[in-house]
Structure 1
């Protein structure tokens, strides 16, 4: 069963903190079910969006609605989370925590929180999802090498397209992946593309293919629905088609869509 490994759910019923101006309309569970029907995915990983800060109730509720057999979540936490809260989140389908630190504007947490929380969630078998810039990956290489938990690098590790696989961050992440300690999400091509949707994010293709060649068994794909950064929203079926262009191989695409996410998120194979 194909898995969309990176989406966000927005529901006003859970909007109790954070920046209400960043709330996305028409992005609840019912709306996402229509996306699933369109692109043919049956599994999903929901990442708590920044509008909710460290309140993960919206994500846990979405997992409940979609069914824990085929839905998982990635939470945003700070170090004062209790063991009881972690246990409840695990019961609710959470399998990782995210650190969105690529820009201070969107950061609900800090670099100083990464290792302490990584040690705690590693005991649960969770991963640490990192939305960092390539420069931050290089700067914090020593931390990454010490990391006790599995790491998942968001959005192709945000490698600058002009450097691509020649950037030092590529080698760092690749070594971690080769050691079985890291994964990379093939998602959000619009975040780094200069040519945009009109040109099918073509400038991202070489970098995506470099990851496919380097670590096909350590990649997952995500739509990044509902594409909150984009004024012109891409069609999700088109984004899935891009994966086929990047892999140029049905067997590799199936691995990225089915086998890899089952291993990473604990779905039945």
Structure 2
């Protein structure tokens, strides 16, 4: 991978408004646990929201100094995980993992091929159900299918959806990963009942949460450095620091008018964790355990 930023001129990073490096020091084997690849070489079910190739992403790795990466299958490719597998191969399976999208008709042969290619979980992106290729009715069935592989279920659900499906979540024994701070809406934040529910699942030791996507529910936005998300992020850090990972959410496909500053997003983690030891836990130790990287 490219060397981290060395103090020279900052080359532009695709799909990012970063104009300089983060203030936070680089950590060996730091993991970006949530990004998407949109490669025009692969056919999509719907137009891709951006061109964001592995080569483009290497620029972000060089800026932030991250080495490990988790590529999450975007909606536009449906259940064709070829672009995600290709990205894992290019980044190198020693430092890359993936999260696929499958349906109940997936064969055992396909599941094992995905595992060999670096897939370690399946995603249910149902925050917006329109045009989703999976549904809530598939969750338990697929959870049972992937359990023997040691995979997890990655859930991008609204806070209300999390609460509505509390009984389902309580039954599942397959590890769960909640996207983007569990999408707690403001101004409710941690007062939303989803916070208590997800906290219980984290305490059970069967769930994880991504400190990612600060801009998704922030009202003050980049101009306010997403400060209104701080109480939510800090509450998760207090609640279960051993169950948290960080992700850039690059190339920020929801942000079509203005791309976030990835250096700022990276620095938010240092602001939320407050100590070097805790930041290392979130960036290095926790993702090594969740995704099966070698221990740092």
TM-score normalised by the chain length of structure 1:
0.97
Residue equivalent to 1:264 = 290
For the 8 Å contact 2:233–2:272, the answer to whether it is kept is: yes
Residue equivalent to 2:280 = 254
Residue equivalent to 1:40 = 65
Matches within 5 A, 1:26-105: 27-105=52-130
**1:14-58 CA distance string (max 9 Å, x none):** 12x4111x3412x10000011001000000000011110111000
Cα distance in structure 1, aligned partners of 2:285 and 2:272: 17
| Deviation (angstroms), 1:164 | 1.7
The residue matched to 1:227 in structure 2 has which SS?
coil
Residue equivalent to 1:4 = 32
For the 8 Å contact 2:32–2:66, the answer to whether it is kept is: yes
The residue matched to 1:14 in structure 2 has which SS?
coil
Corresponding residue to 1:218 among 236, 240, 243: 243
Cα distance in structure 2, aligned partners of 1:62 and 1:111: 28
Deviation larger for 159-168 or 145-154: 159-168
Deviation beyond 6 Å, 4+ runs, structure 1: none
The residue matched to 1:161 in structure 2 has which SS?
coil
Aligned residues: 266
Residue equivalent to 1:123 = 148
**1:120-153 CA distance string (max 9 Å, x none):** 1111000000000111111100000111310000
Q: CA RMSD in A?
A: 0.9
Q: Which runs of 5+ in 1 are unaligned?
A: none
For the 8 Å contact 2:49–2:253, the answer to whether it is kept is: no
For the 8 Å contact 1:54–1:77, the answer to whether it is kept is: yes
Cα distance in structure 2, aligned partners of 1:149 and 1:156: 20
Cα distance in structure 2, aligned partners of 1:106 and 1:233: 24
For the 8 Å contact 2:173–2:206, the answer to whether it is kept is: no
TM-score normalised by the chain length of structure 2:
0.88
For the 8 Å contact 1:161–1:207, the answer to whether it is kept is: no
Residue equivalent to 1:136 = 161
Q: Which runs of 5+ in 2 are unaligned?
A: 1-28
Higher RCO (C-alpha under 8 Å, 6+ residues apart): 2
For the 8 Å contact 1:100–1:106, the answer to whether it is kept is: no
The structure with the largest helix share of the pair is 1
Residue equivalent to 1:233 = 259
| Deviation (angstroms), 1:106 | 5.0
